[in-house]
Amino acid sequence: MKKQTLRLRSSQYLRNLGETGSLNVNKMIQPLFLAEGLFEKEPIKGLPGVYRDTNQSILTQIESDLKTGVSQFLLFMVPKDKSDTSFPKDFYHSNISLIKKTFPNMFLWLDTCICSVTTTGHCCHFHKSGTIDLDLTLKRLSDLALIYADAGADGIAPSDMMDGRVGSHRRILDANGHTMVPIMSYSTKFKSNFYGPFRGAADSSPQFGDRSGYQLDVRDRDTAIHTSIRDKEEGADLLMVKPGMTAIDLIGPIKEKTGLPTGAYQVSGEYASLVYLANEGFLNFEDGLKETWDVFRRAGSSYLITYGARIAQRLYS
C-alpha cells in the first residue's frame, strides 16, 4: 500500500486522477488506436472524430489533443499480423518511444490485453482441451507490460480480466526497474453488448465463442466488487468499471471498500449510442454527452476514459 500511495503522488497527472474534485479535462483520458501497416488514418464507424491512426497521423492527433487540454491518453496498439508466440516488439517500441520523445509533457497509458495479437481474438491462450491456459496467458500479458514499460509507457492498463494478472504485472515491472510505473486496472469489466465499435478498431473480435469465460456476468454484483478488491490487493494503483453507465452503481462501493481512485470507461457502444441519437435528431450530442459525464461525477467517478475527452475543456468552460 505504501508504494501505491507513492506512485499516485509521483506526478501531477496521477494526482489529478486521484483528487476528489469534479470531473474536468484533467481527469479525462482520451483513447487512441495505432494500427500497424496503415498508410492513412481510418475513421472508426460510430465514433466520429476517432480514428485508427498511422505512426505519423497519431503524432498529429496527439499534438491537436494537447492543444485542447487533454494530457492523458490510453493507447491501443493494433499489430498487422497475428501470433500466439511472439510480439511485434519493433512496432511497439519504436512508436511508443517516438510518442514519448515527441511529447514528453503528457501521460501515456498502454492497454496490455493480447486480444489484438492472438489468432483467436481472445484475451487469453487456451489448452487443447479448450480451457484457459492461465500460466501462459499471465506470462504473455506480463511480458507485454514489460515491453511497453521498457519502451517508455508512463502507465500500464491491464484489461484482460485474468485472475492474478495485476500481481504478475507488478512483479515483472518491479523486477525490471519500473517500480514507479502505475497500474490502472480494468478491475470490474463486464461481458457486454456495448463494445462493438471498439472491436472493429482494435481488430479484436473473438473468432469463436465469447468472453463469458473470463469477463464478468453483468448480473453478478458481489463478484464485480470482489475483483476490484482483489486487484487492489495485488498492487493496482487505480481501479475502473467498464462499461461505465451499466456499472455506474458500483463506483461508489468500490471506492469505499478499496480507498483507491476508481474511474469509469465510457465505452464505444455507449458513446456511439449518443452519436446515433443525435444523428436521428433525438438529442443534441454535446448536451447529451455532458449529461452522462455529470452522472459519472455524481456517482463518484475519480476519472473518466471517454472518446470525447478532446472536447471536454470546451464543454466545461
Binding residues for Zn(2+): 113, 115, 123
Known catalytic residue: 255? Answer: no
Spot the catalytic one: 27, 41, 189, 255: 189
Spot the catalytic one: 27, 232, 242, 255: 242
Return binding residues for 5-aminolevulinate.
199, 211, 268, 307
Hey, is 214 helix, strand or coil? coil
Which triple of cell numbers denotes residue 186? 480494468
Known catalytic residue: 242? Answer: yes
> What is the C-alpha separation between 312 and 22, in angstroms, rounded?
13
- Taking the C-alpha atoms of 289, 290, 295 and 296 in order, what is their torsion angle to the nearest 10 degrees? 80
Q: Which residues contact 252 (CB under 8 A, 6 or more apart)?
A: 299, 300
Which triple of cell numbers denotes residue 5? 500511495
Contact 145, 158 (CB under 8 A): yes
Return binding residues.
113, 115, 123, 199, 211, 268, 307
Can you say how many angstroms the Cα of residue 69 is from the centroid of all Cα atoms in its chain?
19
- Name the strand (E) or helix (H) holding 189: strand 188-189
- What are the catalytic residues? 189, 242
